[in-house]
C-alpha cells in the first residue's frame, strides 16, 4: 500500500529529500507516485506536520 500526501502538506520538501526511490514530486501538496512508492514509510516518519500517510 503506497503512501499519499494530504492537504496538511506545508510544501517543505522533507519528504522528497528522504525518499529512497524519488517517488515524490514537488507541489502543494507534494505528490507521491503510487507505482514507484515502496511503502518504506520514510516520508511519514520525516514529515513535520504528519501529512504523509498510508493510502
pTM to 2 decimal places? 0.90
> What residues does each domain of the chain span?
3-54
pLDDT category at 19 given cuts 50, 70, 90 is very high
43, 19 contact by CB (below 8 A)? yes
Specify the 3-state DSSP secondary structure of 27.
coil
Please say if the pLDDT value at position 1 is more than 90.
no
Q: CATH for 3-54, among 3.20.20.70, 1.10.760.10, 3.30.70.20, 3.30.56.10?
A: 3.30.70.20
C-alpha dist (Å) from residue 29 to 14, 16, 17: 12, 12, 15
Q: What is the pLDDT of residues 25-44, one digit of tens each?
A: 999 899 999 999 999 999 99
Amino acid at each position: 500500500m503506497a503512501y499519499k500526501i494530504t492537504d496538511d502538506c506545508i510544501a517543505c520538501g522533507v519528504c522528497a529529500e528522504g525518499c529512497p526511490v524519488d517517488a515524490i514530486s514537488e507541489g502543494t501538496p507534494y505528490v507521491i507516485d503510487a507505482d514507484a512508492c515502496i511503502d518504506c514509510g520514510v516520508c511519514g516518519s520525516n514529515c513535520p506536520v504528519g501529512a504523509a500517510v498510508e493510502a
